[in-house]
Every structure is written in structure tokens, then in C-alpha cells.
Amino acid sequence: MKRSTLALFILAAFAHSGPVHAGVTTADIENDARTTGDVLSWGMGTEGQRYSPLTKINTKNVKRLVPAWSYSYGGEKQRGQEAQPLVVGGKMFITASYSRIFALDTKTGRKLWSYEHRLPEGIMPCCDVINRGAAVYDNLVIYATLDAQLVALDQNTGKVVWKEKIDDYQAGYSSSAAPIIAKGLVLTGVSGGEFGIIGRVEARDAKTGKMVWVRPTIEGHMGYKFDESGNKVDNGISGTTNASWQGDLWKTGGAATWLGGTFDAKTGLAYFGTGNPAPWNSHLRPGDNLYSCSTVAIDVATGQIKWHFQGTPNDGWDYDGTNE
């Protein structure tokens, strides 16, 4: 992906306001791929198909598109830009490098507000300081940060509504993927497979940030559900300890869910790809090393892995399998 783009260009044919939302609902999100006045999910719908039914722009007239406005994120923090904008009720929400987010007027490009997450010293993002986007639900816009936190802001003011820690950045955890919303839950993954972290998918109540379940993506690690008081409830083990990992390497096995996931409302399953196992030297970890370099299908209602497919057993080439 080209990482030199420092400004966001909006084409004239797209610079229109969508309908004003009282609050983004589950139904709105599940219909995102079929509605044309807004963009509510990374991938233009939780299934990630990136397809628009609009026909006004086509192969014959696309060459006539010209920029209507541009917006520069400015300052010395201009680095890689990998986020897809979200559009809600005439507002555009776009994340930027160093865990920043901007709200813009879609017609004019005027900044409505911005929020810059305060990052501590010593963060360890393996692959630049980028962010891949946000999620919207109700009156919130939610995004993850390089120090492994999840922040929910008021769409109108940019004020923090809730903030939750995903994990310890000093242990190698970070997060840059766009969250997705599924049945009122915000689903996030983790980054840091190069630093001995444990990949996982988390589900939180999108309105409050309260944890609902967590599902590790390294075989042998326990998954949990959480009750209304925040207490862990045993939710089973994602496979048998040492079945595909020998010794203790499963304890720091990688398989980061660093690109984020997709969700199919018809099946109720979220699909996340996982990254490389750790350490990179595959001779140290004989076996398939599940669920690294895999696609896992997770029941959003329970947090259980329903099936998996591993593209590269015992990966020794850093191929990853994060194809969402």
C-alpha cells in the first residue's frame, strides 16, 4: 500500500451529505452495503466487499472527476495514511497516523473537530504509526490506538465518552485495525506478533466499552465471557494444550489479528485472519502452530471458534493469514 499520501482528496461527485442519523443502529450497519448516502463500516459493509451500487460514476465518465477539496493532517506527524473514511449524516470521520482522528464536513472539507490520543513513550508498533480506521455506533465513533487502547468519542463534539485498555503496550501490544460493529458489540483485534504477544479477538458493548467476551487465537489459551459485573466466566479452551505446539512456545505464540475482521449477519459469525507464529524460527516450534496464519470463524453471540482454516501450518516465512 502506498504510504506517501498526506492529504485526503474528495471527488466532486461524492461530496454530498447523506441522511442525518439520530444514531447509527445495528440495522443501519447491516444495511451499509446497500445504502448509498453513508459509509458506516470499514469495507463498506461489515462483510467487507467494498462494493457500491451507485451508477452515476462509470468507466466512461470517471476520467472527468476532479478534486473538490483536500484536507491535510498537517504538522510533523504526517506519516502513512491507510484509513477508509466513514460518512454519517454529512460528517466524515477519518483516522490518521499517531492515533489521531478528524471529523470533517463532507461538502466543504472544513474541520469540525479533532482528537489526538496522548501516546506514552516506548510504544512498539512493528509496522509504522498508522491507523486503519474507525467504527460508528449510536452517537459514537470508536477507534483503536498505538498504545493498545480503545477510545469512543461523541460524533458531534469529539469528547471522550469511554476509554478502555486492550493490553499493555510495554509487553508489545498495539492496535491499528479498524474495529467492526456486530449486533451492538465492537470487535477488535491486536497487533504485535513480532514481540511475543498472544493474538485474540475481543468483544465489548459498543455503548459502554464493557467487555463481553475474549477469544485468544493461539491454541491452548483460555477464552472467557464476562458477566454484567465484569467477572470472567469460563468459556472453554480454544483447542488442546500442546496439540499443535510443543513445549512452552504457545505461551508467546503470536497469531496477531492485526488487520481486523468482517461479520456476516446471516451466519452470526465474525471472520478474523491471524498473523505469523512466534518466534519466526519454525524449527523451534514443530507442529502446525494453530491458530496462526489462519482464518477463524467466531460466533459473535458466544465467542466460540466455530471453524478454522490454516493457510500455512508451521509458518517460517512470515506469510501471515490476515486476509479478512
Kindly provide the residue ranges of all beta strands, DSSP E only, lying in the chain, ordered along the sequence.
7-11, 67-72, 86-88, 91-96, 100-105, 111-116, 135-137, 140-144, 149-154, 160-165, 180-182, 185-188, 200-205, 211-216, 222-226, 232-237, 261-264, 269-273, 294-299, 305-310
pLDDT in tens, 114-134: 999 999 998 988 888 999 999
Instruction: Please give the mean pLDDT across all residues of the chain.
Output: 91
**Exactly one of 288, 299, 318, 320 is catalytic; which is it?**
318
15 vs 296 pLDDT, higher one:
296
pLDDT at residue 5 greater than cutoff 60: no
Q: Residue 322: which pLDDT band, with cuts at 50, 70 and 90?
A: confident
pLDDT digits (tens, 9 = 90+) for 24-59: 999 999 999 999 999 999 999 999 999 999 999 999
264 is catalytic: no
For range 280-298, the mean pLDDT: 96
Q: What is the pLDDT of residue 13?
A: 39
Q: How confident is the model at residue 76 (pLDDT cuts 50, 70, 90)?
A: low
| Cα separations in angstroms, 5 against 1, 14, 81, 110, 194 | 10, 19, 6, 19, 26
For 228, other C-beta atoms within 10 Å of its C-beta total 8
- The region of weakest confidence among 136-150, 184-198, 230-244 is 230-244
Domain ranges of the chain: 7-51+67-310
Helix (H, G, I), strand (E, B) or coil at 36: coil
What CATH class has 7-51+67-310?
A: mainly beta
Check residue 57 and give its pLDDT. 92
